[in-house]
Amino acid sequence: MVVSLLLSVANMSVPALLLGVLAGAEPSSAAGRPQGTTQSAPQTRPATPPATRLVRLTNDSVAGQPFGQEPTVRELLGEGGRVVARRPCRNLYEANQVDTLLLVRHQGNLFEFYRAPEKDLLRDAVVTNFQPAYGRRLRRRLAAAHQPGPGATANVRIGDTERTNYVSVVYQRGQLSAVHVEPYAE
C-alpha cells in the first residue's frame, strides 16, 4: 500500500504535493490499494466537503513581493532555522561556476534559496505557520489582496502582469491555511 501511494505521488510536482498535503488532500482509494485487490467491506462515504473555489487574481505588488521585506537565509538561521538540504547547481551564465540550492526549514515553513557568490535568491517557499514576522507580513498583504467569505474553502492564485511571479494561497473555512510562494528565478 505504501509503495502504491509513493508511486501515485511520484508523478506530482513537489510544490503541488506540499500544497496537497497542507490542504488535507488524500490520494484516491484506488491509488492507495494494490492493483488486483478488491475491497472486502463497503466503505461509508464521508460527508461531502465544501466545494473549493479557484480564484485567479493579478496583483503585481503581492505577487512580486509577497513578504514585503523578504526573509533571508541569515535571518532564518539566526532565528533558529536550519539548513535541511544542500544541492550543487551549475550556474547558467558563468562557465565554471557552481552555485548551491539551499533548503531551509524555519518553524515548520520551508524555503528554497539559490545561493550565488553575490547573494541568496528566494526560489520557493511554503508557509503554514504565520507566527514569525515574515508570516505576519505575508498574512497582512494577502488579506489586503483577497478576503474569502466566512466558512469558504478556496484556492487563490495571485500572479503579476508579466506572469513570472506567483503566490498560491489555500483558505480552509475562511481562514488562511497555506501559502506557496513562487518568485521568478532562472
Question: In a 3-state reduction of DSSP, which class is residue 81?
Answer: coil
Q: DSSP letters along 28-69, please?
A: -TTTTS-TT---SSPPPPPPPPPPEEEEEEE-HHHHH-TTSS
pLDDT for the residue numbered 28: 39
Q: Minimum mean pLDDT among 14-18, 35-39, 142-146: which range?
A: 14-18
- Given a cut of 70, whether residue 39 has pLDDT beyond it is no
CA distances from 92 to 46, 95, 96, 181, 185 (A): 50, 7, 10, 23, 12
Question: Where is pLDDT greater, at 114 or 18?
Answer: 114
Task: Give me the residue spans of the domains in the chain.
Answer: 1-35, 53-182
- pLDDT over 50 at 10, yes or no: no
**Closest by Cα among 151, 141, 152 to 179:** 141
pLDDT digits (tens, 9 = 90+) for 157-176: 999 998 889 999 999 988 89
From the list 1, 72, 7, the residue with the least C-alpha distance to 32 is 1
The three-state secondary structure class of 1 is coil
Q: What is the pTM of this model?
A: 0.70
Average pLDDT over residues 36-48: 54
Residue with cell 502582469: 161
